[in-house]
Amino acid sequence: MVLAHEIGHTLGIGHSDVPTAIMYPWYQKNITMLDEDDKMALESLYGPTQKFVHNPYNDKSTTTTMSTTTMQPTLHSTVTNICDIKSVDFMFLASTPSFPNFRLYIGFNRFLWKFDLFDIHIPLHSEYVKDYLPQKTQFEPISHIFQNSAGNLFAFNKLTGDCYTTSFPDLTILEINKVPIPTNSKVDVIFQTNSGQIFVFYDQAYYIEFNDGFKKILNRGRVSDRFLGLPKNPTAAFRYIDGYIYFFTQDTTTTTTYYKFSEYSRSVISSGPFDWNLFGIPWPNSSLKEQLKALLTRVLSIYE
pLDDT of residue 113: 84
CB contact at 8 A, 129 and 111: yes
Number of neighbours of residue 39 by Cβ within 10 angstroms: 14
Mean pLDDT of 241-268: 87
Amino acid at 258: Y
- Compute the distance between CA of residue 242 and CA of residue 276 in angstroms, rounded to an integer: 15
Q: At the fourth CATH level, which superfamily is domain 79-303?
A: Hemopexin-like domain (2.110.10.10)
Model pTM score? 0.67
Alpha helices, DSSP H only, in the chain?
A: 2-10, 36-46, 223-226, 288-303
pLDDT single digits (tens) 85-99? 777 888 888 888 777
Instruction: Return the percentage of the chain with pLDDT > 70, whole number.
Output: 76
Domains of the chain, residue spans: 2-46, 79-303
Say which DSSP state 78 is in.
S
pLDDT of residue 247: 94
pLDDT single digits (tens) 19-65? 888 888 888 777 778 888 888 888 877 776 654 333 333 333 333 33
> How confident is residue 258, by pLDDT bands cut at 50, 70 and 90?
very high
Q: What is the 3-state secondary structure (H, E, C) of 181-220?
A: CCCCCCEEEEEECCCCCEEEEECCCEEEEECCCCCCEEEE
Closest C-alpha among 301, 275, 271 to residue 289? 275
